[in-house]
Structure 1
Amino acid sequence: MRRALLIALLALPLPAVAQDLPPAAAAAADADQAGDAIVVTARRREESLQDVPLPVSVFSEKQLTSTGAYNIARVAQIQPVIQYYASNPRNSAINIRGLGAPLGLTNDGIEQGVGLYIDQVYYSRPAASALDFIDTEQIEVLRGPQGSLYGKNTTAGAINIRTRAPSFTPEARVELTGGNYDFFQGKGSVSGPLSDTLAARFAVVGSTRRGTVRNVRTNEWTNSQDNLGLRASFLYKGIEDLSLTLAIDYNKQRPRGYTQVAVRTFPTLRAANRQFGALATTLGYRLPTTDPFDRVTDVDAPLQSNQDQGGASLIAEWAAGDNTVTSVTAWRFWTWRPKNDRDFIGLPITTRSENNSDQRQLTQEFRFATSGNNKLDFTGGIFGYRQTIATDSVTAQGAAANQWTNGPTANPAVLDGLTQRAAIYYANNSLAAYGQLTWNATESIRVQPGIRFNFDTKDATYNATQSGGIANPTAAQQAQKNASLPAQSYTASYKAFNVSGDINISWRVAPDVLLYAVASKSFKSGGLNLNGLPALADGVTPALALAQVKPESVTHFEGGVKAQFWDRKITANLTAYHTDIKDYQTTVSNGAIGIVRGYLANADVRIQGVEGEFSLRPNDRFTAYLNFAYNDGVFTRFPDAPVAPENTGGTAQSIDISGARFPGVSKWSLAWGGEANVPAGPNGGQFYVGADASYRSSYSSNATPSPYFVVDGFSIANFRAGYRDDSNLDVFAWVKNAFDTHYFEFLSNQPGNNGLVVGQLGDPRTFGVTVAKKF
């Protein structure tokens, strides 16, 4: 039914005539053969990519289509500086250089360090990154703090997505893709004038795919895709020098999933009868397989990851000579209705894990830009932000929960049916003023200081009740119930004013060579713990000292060179950076309880490295690119980190891991590829072949380093071959992960800390055919 609806909707066509170029640094080759500049708006003005004195990667619609990058997760596979982790849409994190959000379960009480902007609108929910791109024209990835140019403060970088604007020239686009695992994706858009002063654009995208993990208990496929996105936009130009753009979008996802699979077991310091193997034997359980790449699970709780999100925005742009005034007004909503099996195996341990959540977001930005002075330019603005999140959480334990948590001799009835219901409310208000001045000191030297003033208030309430489990418990049994799913109530608040700033100095030493240096002092506002708190020694009173986490203080230095050679047929961009974060907001697990429950803590972090983007286009018949990132990240201070999972059951409750490897980021990441074509026929036709590959070295998947939670390095290769011509027809076959590399996106400690590692599997080999046409 869904597929039939998509095909019917695609009587309106949609984005993407896939053309010849691969990602990122190769975007320089997306300009015409004369070496015309790529125009970006990353710094809130139109300028050539090679003129931007910052590391910026650009992905055009053509590159996104040809590489199959239809969401942020796919972009991360071909851009080494991006890390993307998601156990489900809510628990999604976009990181740049390893920074942005801590690896692990999402905590709504902290903000994202990477700003996601679509058509100038800030998206506060990382769940938006799981959506398919709709009618996307260009994606720009900025690294480093961006607080003096963007409305919401972003300490790690920003992803700036621009969709196609309504056109007064009629046009239509369609793209259809089919592949294995019953994959089908349809995209379509149509645009044109409604009157002499009003143009409209309508777009749709839909994706379905069978799951890649088989549940042998229910005989169903899990971790599937089922997405639908709709977008309408209207452009009014009835008043001289004024343009008004109204956009409305709606997106929904209805996949069956998600779950992780058992990877390996490891010994803990607990008694022999409390190791995973012994407990499983006691409870008469056996894993369905010992090979995670059999892609099977036996979870016994329902799986559901339903999300709906959308909103409306109105952008007004008034140009008066060399001055531009912009207003961006936006309202957005996000609704999340999940069902999870948080023990990840076929035992009745945690039988319900549902955090039904509703978010509402309102933003207003006023921005002013002037460029009328040969010596001085200025861009500045005011940004207001209001966010509310209401969450109703239900967690329930099953018949095996108590033995799994407290040992085989524990009374199963104590936790059987124990249920915690939590009502969580969070309100976040923010007001900021920001600006950046450009001083053209000479024809070749620019000095750009920036400043930001930010005021934040955050308020939260957490009320959890406890019911079920054994009736009339003894004191010891009640303690077990409280350790598992406590009744808990607390309030928390945060209020602070911050000032931050940066300075950028660039020097064009030759027409095609730019040197730049950046120094910035930035921050991320303090956070509130919304996942419940660990208890004090009495086992009941919440540790209120952990309710609030300190703001992050970021000191960042960066320097680089952007250069083109051989009549701009070669592009070479290099940057080196050093970032120190005091009071980095990280998520740690409470090992005292038998379910996944993360809370926030502060640590100090240092991230430094070197990045390079190189592209070659000697002629119209061949392109190639190579991107690399070297990233060295460590905790410079983390004296009270949780012990490693293998040390569970020992006397130590915390450990000093200062100097340890920072989790979630590979030391080396690379992406490379290219494309070649030959003429075919009189209509400008050509046959082409292309390849893209990526490599990421190993990384730690646990805050406290552990050899059992290291994700091994892996490489993925993708290939495509097809035909295109001047009629804007493009037909190509593709294969992703061509060599069926077995890899994990991340590893986790199975609740209970009994010695089982579970992991999120990367996609297997997929292949298919794409047909794209522009009219």
Structure 2
Amino acid sequence: MQQKQNPNRLSVLTLAILSTMAAAPSFADDDADAAAAEKRDNSTEVLEVTARRVAERIQDVPVAVTAISEQKLGDMGAQTIADIERIVPNLTINASRATNSTITAYLRGVGQNDPLWGYEPGVGVYIDDVYMARPQGGVLDLLDIQRVEVLRGPQGTLYGKNTIGGAIKYITRELPDYTRGYVEAAVGAYNQRDVKFGFSTPVVDDKFYVGVSGAKLNRDGFGEVVGDSPYAGDDMSDKDITAGRINLTWKPTENLSVKLVADDIQDDSNARGGQRLTVSGSSAGYPTVYQPLDDRYDSRQNLDPDRTEVNTSGQALTITWDISDDWQFKSVTAKRKGDTLSDIDFDQLNRPTFDVLAVYEDEQKSQEFQLTHAGEKLDFVSGIYLFDGDACGAFLNVLAHAGISQETSGCVNTKSQSIYAQGSYKLSDRWSLTLGGRSDKDEKDADVRLRRFLGLDDSGTVLFDGGFSGDETFNEFSPHIGADFKINSDMMVYASYSHGFKSGGFNMRGNILVDPDAGKPFDPETVDTLELGLKGSWFDNRLTGYFALFTQDYQDKQVTVGTTVGITPVQRVLNAADATADGFELEMNAKLTDALSLNIVYGYLDAQYDKFIAAVTPGGVETDIADTAQFINAPEQQYSVGLSYDMDLSFGQLLLAADYAYRDDTYIFETPTAVDQKAYSLYNASAVLYLDESNWRIALHGRNLGDEAYRTGGYNFPGNTFDNTVTGFYGDPKTWTLSAQYSF
């Protein structure tokens, strides 16, 4: 079976509690990159992670990290990276509102809810060692995966900007020195039809290896266009993805490795359907009043749901040189790009009263040089990181009831330079001290254009043409200090301080004609975290776990604030909020018998705003709503309980598993709205059969078996100005999948 591990953070008066916790939580256990004949591993093998940029046993890492192995992901029936949400404490991860694959990720209450170009994420997503700068295409399907690591808390020292909430690392398979491969086919609810394959082989023994993998993933929609729409009968929220990956690895000597990896993902899924939660408004041009539909995935929309696509691709060249037994040099040269076409029918009605036609484009290049040392007393990692990225986009907002349309467009170029180092020194056999720091320089160059037209497209009379250009440089230093103490060979306690920042920028919706200050930049957000954690194993490794307490100081949060210029209302992005969050996290894996295992994951978060400026009056008087403002995507409690039972059969091994996942009330916006989600629970179950001597794995997975309706995002525009639009977007309904995989 698998165990997971995560360290976490520090809140004072916790040391006493930690020292008495002899039954804390656990980690991951099985790294299923074995040989061709795969039988399910039910041992307590320890997973290695790269949370500190070098390979370490997860039990030895004084960092809040959860690692989920390939085998665990397969046994739980995970299909995308978003499926890990239920087994990682204080994590929210899902597709952004009205999208299928744009990621919204929050850790410990820190993230980013607006995927607009120019706004930075709060949780970094990595494919191997390569940072994905934009959220479009970030809800990755699990293909050619070795494990997923989730690092919680600021990771500024080793990972840089935009990891103030944490980082999610999607780590792909390394090529083994033998021929291996697999083919997998799956069918399921809503006419699911998936095919995946992977193959790798040495072309020249011990020198040159080739690996290829691919997937074609299809599913009918959860809903459809209904009513008097011209697209009635078309699917909403379907799936149509084609993905491929190639890995070329050359090892000219025992000490040198050159790896070239390229991936490409094409997502042609139809638009995601949302449910109106309110009766539509009416106007002279559109007098019909619509009631909300019963099905949460159906839509009356007037836009073509098939005019949606996301294409992402990337290439990475990694050169690793083992200089000696103690020293290693690594170079990672990477490029990624993405193109997105996304039409959003905000009002979900067959009339153009609130439609947005949007395109996004991004391209990034990065270079990292890394030098690591592993000694008897001192381990350290150091590096230089360079990044150059362009994020562009345009959207046309059609407001038919007002007879106008408005175009927002622009680009942001970001150039980043970083230098970092972190070292751990063994003061004794039990005590270790860790010190690190990173210096970041972030240069932003933004162009913003805002035009309003008389009419429903950009061919009408231009009512105004406003925009601006701006540039700014942000400098930040991110330190880390930590200490860990090995109580014995199986148990460790640690304490740490970490700092991280999310880069500043410009208001990409600013209108300088109305607001002369629209071109002023906003500053970075910062988070400082203290954490105290305990991890270890007990009772001959039958109980493993991790426990942590943390407190974080969240400063200069970027907030869209309403203000006025003269008598004209405008919106600016200001560093208008400060907050404090205290929390507790636990992961535990217990082998109750040789066959029966219990997994418990628990996250608690008490996040409170100390300041939240929501508006500024013409006289400069600030409206502070700190007492009522709520943290987005930060339920106070979330937990899951899972049981798994392994049975040895005469012809193979059978795993039976079930889990229950609970999430507290979740706010979608900082102030209460009808879109907010009340507490809910999900039930999931799996049966996985590994056949002896035949290399077959057959699995049946059921997800959301209670068919719980739960919102993951939404839009809130009540009143007739925007056709009384309040729309919710929902997680997947009850589904099942039957798959068969043959490995060779």
TM range (shorter): 0.7 to 0.9
Shift in alpha-carbon separation, 1:281–1:509, aligned structure 2, 3 A: farther
Contact 2:352 2:398 in 1 (8 A): no
What is the Cα deviation at residue 754 of structure 1?
6.1
* Counterpart residue number, 1:362: 365
**Aligned 8 A contact 1:248 1:310 in 2:** yes
Report the equivalent of 1:769.
738
1:232: Cα distance to partner?
Answer: 0.1
How far off its partner does 1:22 sit? 8.1
Secondary structure of 2:385's match?
A: strand
SS at match of 1:732: strand
- 1:273-292 paired onto structure 2 within 5 Å: 279=282, 283-287=286-290, 289=292, 291=294
State how far apart, in whole Å, the 2-side matches of 1:615 and 1:428 are. Answer: 43
Give the counterpart of 1:621 among 559, 577, 595: 595
Within 2, Cα distance between the matches of 1:627 and 1:68? 18
- Structure 1 residue 33: deviation in Å? 6.0
Letter of the structure 2 residue corresponding to residue 177 of structure 1: A
Q: Secondary structure at the match of 1:386?
A: strand
Report the 3-state secondary structure (helix = DSSP H, G, I; strand = E; otherwise coil) of the residue aligned with 2:138: helix
- Contact persistence 1:554–1:579 (CA under 8 A): yes
Q: 1:29-44, aligned counterparts within 5 Å?
A: 29-30=29-30, 35-44=44-53
TM-score, structure 1 normalization: 0.84
Which of residues 739, 742, 747 is equivalent to 2:706? Answer: 739
Match of 1:518 among 477, 481, 496: 496
**1:572/1:23 CA distance change after superposition, 3 Å:** closer
User: What's 1:474 paired with?
Assistant: none
Aligned-partner Cα distance in 2 for 1:70–1:27: 21
| Distance in structure 1 (CA, Å) of the matches to 2:288 and 2:681 | 35
1:384 aligns with 2:386: yes
Q: In structure 2, what is the equivalent of residue 100 of structure 1?
A: 111
Inter-CA distance 590–749: structure 2 relative to 1 (3 Å threshold): farther
Q: Which of 558, 574, 586 pairs up with 1:601?
A: 574
The structure 1 residue matched to 2:522, chosen from 549, 555, 559, is 549
CA positional deviation for 1:381: 0.3
Q: Deviations over 1:669-713 (max 9, x none)?
A: 0112121122211x5x1233111221101122212234x343111
Is structure 2 residue 535 aligned with structure 1 residue 562? yes
8 Å contact from structure 2 (residues 639, 661) kept in 1:
yes
Gap change, CA 1:599 and 1:545, over 3 Å in 2: closer
Note if 1:715 corresponds to 2:693.
no
Aligned-partner Cα distance in 1 for 2:616–2:188 = 44
2:554 corresponds to 1:581: yes
- Aligned equivalents of 2:290, 2:4: Cα separation in 1: 41
Would you tell me which structure has more helix in proportion to its own residues?
1
Match of 1:185 in 2: 194
The residue type paired with residue 103 of structure 2 is S
Look up the SS of the partner of 1:63 in the other structure: helix
In structure 2, the residue matched to 1:501 is 479
Whole-angstrom CA distance in 2 between matches of 1:518 and 1:657: 32
- For residues 77 and 587 of structure 1, what CA distance do their matches in structure 2 show? 30
Q: Distance in 2 between matches of 1:461 and 1:584?
A: 23
Q: Deviations over 1:656-675 (max 9, x none)?
A: 21133212211010112121
Name the residue aligned to 2:545: 572
**The one of 231, 239, 249 aligned to 1:235:** 249
Cα deviation, 1:393-425, whole Å, max 9, x if unaligned, reads: 333332xx22xxxxxxxxxxxx1xx33344412
398, 406, 410: which one pairs with 1:424? 410
Residue 624 (structure 2) pairs with residue 656 (structure 1): yes
2 CA distance for matches of 1:588 and 1:670?
34
Contact 2:117 2:393 (C-alpha < 8 Å) held by counterparts = no
Question: What is the rounded CA distance, in whole Å, between the counterparts of 1:462 and 1:67 in structure 2?
Answer: 45
Counterpart position of 2:441 = 455
SS in structure 2 opposite 1:527?
coil
| Pair 1:215–1:589, CA change in 2 (3 A) | farther
Deviating more after overlay: 76-85 vs 360-369: 76-85
Structure 2 match to 1:10? none
- Cα distance in structure 2, aligned partners of 1:419 and 1:640: 27
Partner of 2:716: 749
Q: Is the 8 A contact 2:161 2:501 kept in 1?
A: no
CA distance in 2: counterparts of 1:730 and 1:438, whole angstroms = 42
User: Structure 2 counterpart of 1:420, which letter?
Assistant: Q
Measured in 2, the distance between the counterparts of 1:517 and 1:49 equals: 16
**Equivalent residue for 2:268?**
254
One-letter amino acid of the counterpart of residue 716, structure 2: N
Q: Distance in 1 between matches of 2:383 and 2:79?
A: 32
What amino acid does structure 1 have at the position aligned with 2:541?
R
Letter in 1 for 2:540: D
Q: What are the ranges of 5 or more consecutive residues in structure 2 without an aligned counterpart?
A: 6-24, 32-40
Q: Find the partner of 1:704 among 671, 674, 678.
A: 671
Partner Cα distance (1:721, 1:335) in 2: 38
Contact between 1:288 and 1:298, CA under 8 Å: does it hold in 2?
no
Query: Is the Cα–Cα contact under 8 Å of residues 491 and 537 in structure 2 kept in the other structure?
Result: yes
Distance in 2 (CA, whole Å) between partners of 1:235 and 1:590 is: 56
Other structure's SS at 1:335 match = strand
Distance 2:562 2:614 in 1: 12
Query: Which residue is 1:213 aligned to?
Result: 223
Corresponding residue for 2:211? 201
Aligned to 2:22: none
Number of equivalences: 695
Which piece of structure 1 moves more, 546-555 or 740-749? 546-555
- Cα deviations across residues 369-401 of structure 1 (Å, max 9, x unaligned)? 0113x2222111000000012324333332xx2
Counterpart among 265, 277, 293 of residue 263 in structure 1: 277
Partners of 1:771 and 1:641 lie apart in 2 by 56
Looking at structure 2, the residues matched to 358 and 148 of structure 1 have their Cα atoms a distance apart, in angstroms, of 29
Of residues 204, 211, 223, the one that matches 2:237 is: 223
8 A contact 2:217–2:241 mirrored in 1: yes
Give the counterpart of 1:680 among 646, 649, 669: 649
Corresponding residue for 1:162? 171
Measured in 2, the distance between the counterparts of 1:34 and 1:350 equals 56
Q: Deviations over 1:545-590 (max 9, x none)?
A: 4642111122211111102111011012111111111111235689
Are 1:147 and 1:434, in contact at CA under 8 Å, matched by a contact in 2?
no
Partner of residue 610, structure 1? 584
Deviation digits for residues 691-742 of structure 1 (CA, Å, limit 9, x no counterpart): 1221101122212234x34311111101122421334321122211111112
**Higher RCO, Cα 8 Å, sep 6+:** 2
Bigger Cα displacement from structure 2, 242-251 vs 84-93: 84-93
Equivalent residue for 2:469?
491
Counterparts of 2:456 and 2:668, CA distance in 1: 37
2:656 and 2:688 in contact (8 A); partners too = yes
Match of 1:333 in 2: 337
Q: CA deviation at 1:618?
A: 4.0
| Matches of 1:26 and 1:187, distance apart in 2 | 31
Q: Secondary structure at the match of 1:250?
A: strand
Match of 2:510 among 514, 523, 533: 533
Distance 1:256 1:590 in 2: 38
1:640 lines up with 2:614 in the alignment? yes
Gaps of 5+ in 1: 1-19, 266-275, 403-414, 472-476, 644-650
Residues 413-466 of structure 1: per-residue CA shift (max 9 Å, x gap): xx1xx3334441210000000110111011111100110111110011112333
